[in-house]
Each structure stands twice: as structure tokens, then as C-alpha cells.
Structure 1
């Protein structure tokens, strides 16, 4: 175990935004929520998954809805205690620890804030190793773990608990309530035992986020390497394209941010074009008409000077970005994983081909 304070939060937010694949919300907003809680209540204890007893009750805390909404409709701060009380009452025992459900600018931060305010530990594990738009899209679904009982609360104090027949039904019903509550709510879902968390969770995600954040913060201190080479080595990323944002098409629909960003090549990519399509998270990267990466592999856009990740809601005309591909967690490449989050689920007319194969010439 170790402590997470404000310096760690800064790096975790940056690294998680990279792993968020364009989604997961604005890391600045999430960072403010976590820092505010730690300043008031003290640092948070981060547990290694193996330190958690097998019979302990572990619960992810997250925000559900369209991340852009958080810029106008903030998190109140009382939601965490309400969720804790609802879940503890349902099970007749207290929650042992919180955990993030995904890596992303907001959902990597909310469990830190919740743990700080309730003086609880957080576990270094999540259910994606990245971010995805729908709540059934977690490694726990692959493991047969139910999303419910799922507790939901908004900033006004409205709350409910769902019990559903499938995780997809949880997504459908909770999404409807989320829209009624203003397209953004706080939730607790996938309550599980320590044993289940260890078996199907993505271990070390908070630590990986922190390491990536530190690498980005110190990207200019790279010795004989160029900052770009250093960034790609530290992130284990594949450079897919570099360009200037020529157009952004974006709409909020059914509680999701949908859109497409069009890029005109710069540097060695001058004269070439690319586009990235997204649903909260980036789904596909296409260069000169050829798909170079698809979900469930990660597609992230980073600033060409600072290498700070650019989320889908931060895309602006004229900004210069590098498109980077990162390999996804191994469970997403299984048959069940591809069925849950592969390109065809999102309406993309292509089979899933691993990123490293596409970059060698797959199509």
C-alpha cells in the first residue's frame, strides 16, 4: 500500500486521460474534484489488489453520462456518502474499499475523492484498462459478474437502486434515468468480492496512469532521445498520424458525445489526411482511407508539443496533434471481449485486427 496525495493526483489525471482514449471526461475537472477532497480530508491509501481479502466487498465509484456536461453541472460532493450508505444497506455490511471502473480524466479521479471524503482505501485496479462509453463494457462482464445492484444518485439528491436481468439492461435503464437527471449522475456498480476483483480486474491501472503522467510531465528530460521518441517508448505507443485539426463534428445524443475529427497532415504527413471517429471514446483512426486502429485498442490524440492528451470534448480547429495507438488489455482481444467492444458493436464495418498487425500493413 502507499499514499496518494496531490502530486500523485496530478500525474494520475494526465496518464489516465491518455488511457481514456479521448473519453472519460476532462482531466482538469476530475483533478479539481480529487484535489479538493484530499486537501480537506488528507491523502488516500492505495492498496495492491493482493492486499484485499477475498471475501471483502469492493465497489467501483464512477460518473455516468456525457462528459461534456460536467463543465456546467458539477459533482456536489455528497453523492459518495449516499452511494456508500445505499450499497452498505443493501448488502448488510460496509464496503471495504472503492476502486475506479475505468481509466479516464474524471472516472479515475472520483474514487480518489470518494475514498478521501469517507476515509476509505482505494484499490489499484479497474475494469477496462482504458475508458468505454457503455457500462456493460468491462472485464467483469466477461467474467460473468453482474452490474447490479447498481446505486445511482444525482447532485440534487434523487437516488435509486437497479436490479436487472443483464448488464446490457442495466445500461439501457440507467442511461434513461441519467438523461432525466441532466445527462450526468454518480453511480456505484459491479459490487464484487475481493476474489472476483483479483481474477477479472486490470491490475496496477492507477500506478500505470501515474507513470504515464510522470513521463508526459518530464517528456523534455529525455537525454539523447527526442521528446516524441521518449513519449512513444514510455507509453509503448504506435504513431499513427500527425496533423492539424481541420474540422470537428460533434453532437450529444442519448447521453453520449458522438463525433468525428478531421486532420490535415503536418511534417512527414504533409499532403495526407486522417480522421478519428468517436462515441465518448475514440473508436477508429483512418489515414488516407485506410483504417490503422479500432476499438478495443486505444486511440489517443496528444498535443504535438507537450504530449498532453486531448479529450474529445477538447478538440478545437487548428490544434496540432499526434494520433497514438496503444494495445488494449488482453481480455479485450478474446472472443467475448471483441463481441462486447469490437468495431462491429459500434457499427464499424470491419473485423477487429490488432493494432500492431494493422500498422504492419493489415487492413
Structure 2
């Protein structure tokens, strides 16, 4: 990808929702925002991490808040533009490149719209390799970088600039501001240099999202189901096949929180599964025992089409396949597990890699 096409955006919207583990916001909203911005302001150039110059200034742009709220409050171009302008004003630095903070639904495509509006490139990479619910859950934090400046904007024209002490305070203050803004905001944070990006960014994730989406959107020329193709591409595993039997979901503390229960079908007919989520799926249990856990990726896919289903889009009776994929190696470090492992979210497990859990299940 050198210049984003409409087909690229269609594919990224789908693929990023798979990688977004149920979170990151409604992909349809992100797709329409990106397409509309390109049609109005012109095409967007894509550059790789290797193409960055050390002194270039890269700024992530994203949405913060509950995905359920974002469906009701679609950001305008004015809201998308305000945080970047405020960041440049406060920092005195001109943005050379924008980037996604995460690969997940709408948050993969908000920076596409911002890039189009400002006639600057977008970086093929992100700071999670998936989606996570909290602001400090980025590779920049794992590498000791701080969000020295954060800007937030809402649909009313309010813009807030903060200087947090570290990533945890950035999350706490920004989350409370976002709640005051009605549960969703547009954010710019973790501005970095090209040199820092080369060390911390997970490269190639927009391209990966495009490839995953391409498998789902393309014509079925292979006898192999798209879910199996995706699983192979991402070195993942099929954990469960079943029907959604009970969904408990609420907006709390600026997040969409809850759990979903599934009754098994076909080879899993005598089993049950439960997913626990905070915007994103964070823990999967089968018959009361863990089969995948954060920071590894857990995705819910439609049984027939393979299309991803978000935490706010899951409905009673949906027939799904629950899949999981290993997280990027940065998340499997001690710092990564401390930042986004199951204990952080108060689940009663120490982190066990997906491959180990799968092997244990197969050995029984």
C-alpha cells in the first residue's frame, strides 16, 4: 500500500475488527469517516516504519470511550481536527505523520481521516498490535515513554489539554474528561519522533489488517473456510463453536463491560464457553477453565461468513466461532503482562500463553 484505495479501507475496516478483539469501535463508522475524508480532502499516503526519518514527528489519533456510546455519537470532521491542532499549538511541533494508536475497528481508520484532512501520510503500524481498553496499554509505555501531552475534543467543540505524569495518570484523567464529554472523545497522545517509532511501533499492522480483511471480503475461491485461513495467517487457534445464550453488558467507568455465555454446537455440543470483556475480549473460559487470556487476542467470528463481531454488536442467538491469536512478543514480557495481563483486570489467573493452553487442552 502506497496510497490508500477505497478497497483498502473496506478491507482494513474488517481486518482491524478481527485484530481489535471485539473492541476499537464500530468498523462501519470508521470506514465511512475515512472514505468521506478521502473523497473530500484527497488520497492518503501510507509509509512504513523503515521509511521514517529520525527527526520526523509522529502523532497518534484515536477515539476514547465506550464503543456503545460512539455508535450514537459519530464524530464530525471538526471534532477529528481539533485535538491535533491543539496538540500542535501546545507542543509547538508540526505533525509530519499520523498513526493508529491501536489496530481495532474505528481506531484504525480515525487516523486515516485525520491524515486526509491535514494532507499528511499515515504510518503502517500501531502501538498495540490489537486493541486494549486503557491509554497506558501501548508499546510506548512498555518502552518507558510517557505521554507528556494529551489533547481531547468532543462534539460540542470542547478541547482539553493535559500534561499527565505518566501513562496511568493519562488514562485516569483522560477517562474522566471523556466521561464528562458524554462517554466518547477524540484523542491525540504519545507524540513521538521517528527514531522512537522505529524502536516502539509494531510495524505493518495496517497491511496485516488489510490482508485479513481481504480474506473475508474476497470471493471464496478456496474450499477452505475464511476462518481457517485467518487462523493460519495469524498463527491462531479455533477455541469454540457455539450459540450466544446470554449477554450481560453495561457502560461503567467509561467502558463497555460485561460477559457473554455460549452453548456449544457440533463438536462442542457438550461444552459451554464464557467471554469476559472490557471494550475488548480479555478472557475466554470453556467449561469454567481458561482457554485464552489477555494480552493474547480473542476474536468472535460469525460462523457462516467469518465476519468479526464486536462486543457491542454481539446478539442473542448469534452462531459464532471463538478464535484466539498470540500477542506480539512485546506483550509477553514481564512489563507487558504487568500492564495488560489478566491480573491487571482482576481475573483470577496468572498469564498462560495461548499455545500452552491449547496444548494442555489437546493433551487431555
Q: TM-score, normalization: structure 1?
A: 0.97
C-alpha contact 1:5 1:42 (8 A) present in aligned 2? no
Map 1:168-207; keep pairs closer than 5 Å: 168-207=168-207
Task: Tell me the residue number matched to 1:126.
Answer: 126
Query: Could you tell me how far 1:289 is from its partner in structure 2?
Result: 1.5
Cα distance in 1, alignment partners of residues 13 and 281 from structure 2? 18
- The 3 A distance-change label for structure 1 pair 237 and 357 is same
Task: Tell me the residue number matched to 2:329.
Answer: 330
Q: Which runs of 5+ in 1 are unaligned?
A: none
Secondary structure at the aligned position of 1:345 is classed as coil
Cα distance in 1, alignment partners of residues 226 and 154 from structure 2? 42
Map 1:111-190; keep pairs closer than 5 Å: 111-190=111-190
Query: Could you tell me how far 1:332 is from its partner in structure 2?
Result: 0.3
Q: Which moved more, 1:66-75 or 1:214-223?
A: 214-223
Cα distance in 1, alignment partners of residues 128 and 275 from structure 2? 21
Cα distance in 2, alignment partners of residues 148 and 256 from structure 1? 24
Query: Could you tell me how far 1:82 is from its partner in structure 2?
Result: 2.0
Deviations 1:93-148 (A, max 9, x none): 31111000001111001000111111111011110000000000001001111123
C-alpha contact 1:102 1:108 (8 A) present in aligned 2? yes
Secondary structure at the aligned position of 1:177 is classed as helix
Secondary structure at the aligned position of 1:44 is classed as coil
Cα distance in 2, alignment partners of residues 55 and 86 from structure 1? 21
Do residues 209 (structure 1) and 209 (structure 2) align? Answer: yes
Map 1:41-56; keep pairs closer than 5 Å: 41-56=41-56
C-alpha contact 2:242 2:265 (8 A) present in aligned 1? yes
Do residues 360 (structure 1) and 327 (structure 2) align? Answer: no
Cα distance in 2, alignment partners of residues 71 and 87 from structure 1? 26
Cα distance in 2, alignment partners of residues 243 and 15 from structure 1? 22
Q: TM-score, normalization: structure 2?
A: 0.97
Cα distance in 1, alignment partners of residues 9 and 73 from structure 2? 22
Query: Could you tell me how far 1:226 is from its partner in structure 2?
Result: 4.1
- The 3 A distance-change label for structure 1 pair 134 and 219 is farther
Cα distance in 1, alignment partners of residues 339 and 182 from structure 2? 27
Task: Tell me the residue number matched to 1:17.
Answer: 17
Cα distance in 1, alignment partners of residues 119 and 226 from structure 2? 39
Secondary structure at the aligned position of 1:3 is classed as coil
Cα distance in 1, alignment partners of residues 109 and 226 from structure 2? 27
Deviations 1:162-220 (A, max 9, x none): 11112101111111110111000001000111111110110001000000000111372
C-alpha contact 2:231 2:325 (8 A) present in aligned 1? no
Query: Could you tell me how far 1:290 is from its partner in structure 2?
Result: 1.4
Do residues 282 (structure 1) and 303 (structure 2) align? Answer: no
C-alpha contact 1:142 1:336 (8 A) present in aligned 2? yes
Task: Tell me the residue number matched to 1:348.
Answer: 347
CA RMSD across the alignment: 1.4
Do residues 106 (structure 1) and 113 (structure 2) align? Answer: no
Task: Tell me the residue number matched to 1:319.
Answer: 318
Query: Could you tell me how far 1:236 is from its partner in structure 2?
Result: 2.5
Cα distance in 1, alignment partners of residues 81 and 228 from structure 2? 44
C-alpha contact 1:14 1:209 (8 A) present in aligned 2? yes
Query: Could you tell me how far 1:78 is from its partner in structure 2?
Result: 1.0
Map 1:193-342; keep pairs closer than 5 Å: 193-218=193-218, 220-223=220-223, 225-342=224-341
4+ residue stretches of structure 1 with deviation over 6 A? Answer: none
How many residue pairs match? The answer is 362
